């Protein structure tokens, strides 16, 4: 049996299997042999750790073989937990695919080692830096992650300069995008002149710190990573790296209740537009629905053998409260029928997702994450109807109130504003000194509010694409902000272990 045939045999398929069948076989085996499924059985867990390495190695080898041909076949010993690689046949692409396979099964240390090998062979391997940076951030190694993202930025700047130099030598003038420092035309004003008429509430007085006034500060024992405000404007929910959720009075800042039910830390929160249901995702692989009146669980999606087979990383609900969207560490983007309590669509994605957003009319949804390409999808089918190249991974994403604009907040400290009717970039908003944690649109879509790990909250005017106000809101990175639906109150949470309640004055 030759080497590539052994790899196919590990996945239990024929060597002539299609790429789709190969991927399906890999995912099925990865789910079966994921070590997290055997935490109560040490012997099975040890076996699963060996098997998952074989499966990941085999799948990475096949992907590299299909992409580059037989010259990159590697030696795989099906009886070894440490498959060997022929020195003369190593390629950056192989190690990158190997790293992706490890990351998809949450073997992050092995993934980091593979990406390091890819980068050693190709010092400008942008995708490897991106994936490695994302994993480092996920594991809490923020300084190392920042170094990766700075390297990504340097590579992109160098590539852009090389491209521009090549364009000049060919006497071709190209403008890849419009920035707020060099607007070629006032495109936003031309397209949205009527809807973005001068707002009397936005004026020079907002350029000082009075645009936000803190009226209550909550001191905590842990950093709060996730926030959600009820549409009734009466309560908000918070979650840290614990299995419990706190409910607070939005006006008084007083603790109302603690919701217990998850068995592992909370990873995401959202609240229905009725204001009656809180939805939470957790590392325990479940999504739970909470009645905010009774403070009890009313529904659970997922668990062993059902739903996601990994931590829930993002959840969002449609405006009509009929459809739920979720993404998990199993690389699955799921669409759920809430009333029937069943999954209606499962989409396998190749790069990790960090955030979800649904359009105001509920017809579209989108996601942001490690992949710079942002796909706009139909709500019911998940079908992609358009795509945007953001050029860098996304941490926060938001639709404008009229659904015509999309804002993205990224690792490279930039906010980008997109015209969804044309798919074109309108503005790049620059001013933050660290990654963007949250972007939200202001009332009527005339402004954007952003928070960042630089501890600042900024207000941007969309008729000009300029920063009009900024405040250092915390003493450490801001993890999340949420704004009430009446746009009168904003809540922020930080790694300085505080939650602050703000009166909005714009």
Please, how many CA atoms are within 13 Å of residue 250, restricted to the half-sphere of its CB?
A: 24
Of 119, 139, 157, the domain-final residue:
157
183 falls within a domain: no
305 falls within a domain: yes
pLDDT digits over 301-334, tens only? 987 667 898 899 999 999 999 999 999 998 899 9
Residue whose entry in the numeric block shows the structure tokens 């590697």: 74
Same domain, 148 and 217: no
Give the per-residue pLDDT at 199: 43
417 falls within a domain: yes
CA distances from 376 to 387, 397, 438, 452 (A): 6, 12, 19, 25
Window from 15-19, 344-348, 393-397 with minimum mean pLDDT: 15-19
Same domain, 215 and 136: no
Cα-based angle 224, 230, 235 (whole degrees, multiple of 5)? 70
Q: What is the pTM of this model?
A: 0.65
Mean predicted confidence (pLDDT) in 132-160: 75
- Three-state DSSP at 493 gives strand
Give the per-residue pLDDT at 201: 43
Same domain, 110 and 239: no
Q: What residues make up the domain containing 284?
A: 203-504
Same domain, 151 and 215: no
Same domain, 215 and 143: no
Same domain, 401 and 470: yes
**Is 282 a residue whose pLDDT tops 90?**
yes
Same domain, 149 and 289: no
Residue 209: DSSP 8-state: G
Same domain, 137 and 210: no
**Is 181 a residue whose pLDDT tops 50?**
no
164 falls within a domain: no
Mean predicted confidence (pLDDT) in 404-427: 94
Domain with residue 278: its CATH number is 2.130.10.10
3-state secondary structure 54-68: HHHHHHHHHHHHHHH
More confident call, 230 vs 43: 230
Domain with residue 50: its CATH number is 1.25.40
pLDDT digits over 326-379, tens only? 999 988 999 999 988 889 999 998 888 999 999 999 999 999 998 889 999 999
- Cβ atoms of 269 and 226 within 8 Å: the answer is yes
196 falls within a domain: no
Of 142, 157, 172, the domain-final residue:
157
Window from 150-154, 208-212, 241-245 with minimum mean pLDDT: 208-212
Number of folded domains in the chain? 2
pLDDT digits over 248-280, tens only? 999 999 999 999 999 999 999 999 988 889 999
Please, how many CA atoms are within 13 Å of residue 19, restricted to the half-sphere of its CB?
A: 7
Same domain, 134 and 219: no
Mean predicted confidence (pLDDT) in 424-431: 94
Strand partners, 335: 325, 345
Of 139, 157, 175, the domain-final residue:
157
Same domain, 410 and 483: yes
Same domain, 314 and 396: yes
Edge-to-edge strand ranges of the sheet holding 478-483 = 212-219, 498-504, 489-494, 478-483
Give the per-residue pLDDT at 366: 96
306 falls within a domain: yes
Q: 109 pLDDT band (50/70/90 cuts)?
A: confident
92 falls within a domain: yes
**Is 182 a residue whose pLDDT tops 90?**
no
Sign for the CA dihedral angle at 74, 75, 78, 80 comes to negative
Mean predicted confidence (pLDDT) in 104-116: 81
Give the per-residue pLDDT at 103: 79
Please enumerate, as own/partner, the contacts of 108-111 that have beta carbons within 8 Å and a separation of 24 or more.
108/135, 108/138, 108/139, 110/53, 110/56, 111/135
Share of the chain above pLDDT 90, in %: 48
Same domain, 113 and 211: no
198 falls within a domain: no
Give the per-residue pLDDT at 32: 82
């Amino acid at each position: 049996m030759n080497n590539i045939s052994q790899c196919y045999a590990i996945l239990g398929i024929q060597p002539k299997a299609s790429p789709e069948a190969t991927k399906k076989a890999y995912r099925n085996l990865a789910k079966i042999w994921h070590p997290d499924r055997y935490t109560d059985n040490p012997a099975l867990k040890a076996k699963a750790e060996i098997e998952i390495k074989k499966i990941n190695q085999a799948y990475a080898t096949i992907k590299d073989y299909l992409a580059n041909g037989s010259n990159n076949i590697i030696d795989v010993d099906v009886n070894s937990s440490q498959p060997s690689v022929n020195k003369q046949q190593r390629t950056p692409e192989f190690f990158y695919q190997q790293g992706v396979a490890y990351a998809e099964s949450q073997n992050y240390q092995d993934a980091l080692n593979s990406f390091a090998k890819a980068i050693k062979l190709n010092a400008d391997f942008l995708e490897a830096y991106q994936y490695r940076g994302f994993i480092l951030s996920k594991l809490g190694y923020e300084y190392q992650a920042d170094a990766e993202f700075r390297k990504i930025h340097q590579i992109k700047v160098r590539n852009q300069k090389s491209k521009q130099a090549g364009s000049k030598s060919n006497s071709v003038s190209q403008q890849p995008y419009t920035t707020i420092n060099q607007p070629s035309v006032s495109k936003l004003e031309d397209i949205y002149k009527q809807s973005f008429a001068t707002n009397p509430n936005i004026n020079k007085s907002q350029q000082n710190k009075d645009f936000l006034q803190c009226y209550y500060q909550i001191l905590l024992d842990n950093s709060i990573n996730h926030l959600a405000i009820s549409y009734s404007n009466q309560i908000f929910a918070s979650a840290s790296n614990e299995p419990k959720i706190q409910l607070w009075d939005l006006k008084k800042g007083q603790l109302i209740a603690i919701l217990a039910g998850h068995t592992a830390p909370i990873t995401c929160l959202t609240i229905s537009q009725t204001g009656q249901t809180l939805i939470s995702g957790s590392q325990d692989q479940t999504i739970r629905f909470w009645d905010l009146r009774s403070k009890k669980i009313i529904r659970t999606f997922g668990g062993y053998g059902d739903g996601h087979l990994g931590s829930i990383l993002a959840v969002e609900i449609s405006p009509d409260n009929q459809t739920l969207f979720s993404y998990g560490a199993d690389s699955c983007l799921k669409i759920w029928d809430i009333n029937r309590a069943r999954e209606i669509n499962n989409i396998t994605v190749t790069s990790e997702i960090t955030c979800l957003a649904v359009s105001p009319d509920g017809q579209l949804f989108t996601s942001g994450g490690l992949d710079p390409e942002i796909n706009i999808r139909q709500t019911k089918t998940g079908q992609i109807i358009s795509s945007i190249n953001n050029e860098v991974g996304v941490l926060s994403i938001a639709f404008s109130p009229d659904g015509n604009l999309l804002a993205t907040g990224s690792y490279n400290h930039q906010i980008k504003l997109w015209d969804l009717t044309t798919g074109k970039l309108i503005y790049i908003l620059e001013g933050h000194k660290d990654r963007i944690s949250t972007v939200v649109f202001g009332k009527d879509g005339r402004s954007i509010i952003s928070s960042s790990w630089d501890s600042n909250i900024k207000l941007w005017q969309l008729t000009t694409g300029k920063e009009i106000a900024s405040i250092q809101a915390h003493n450490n990175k801001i993890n999340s902000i949420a704004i009430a639906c009446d746009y009168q109150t904003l809540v922020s949470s930080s790694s300085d272990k505080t939650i602050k309640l703000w009166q909005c004055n714009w």
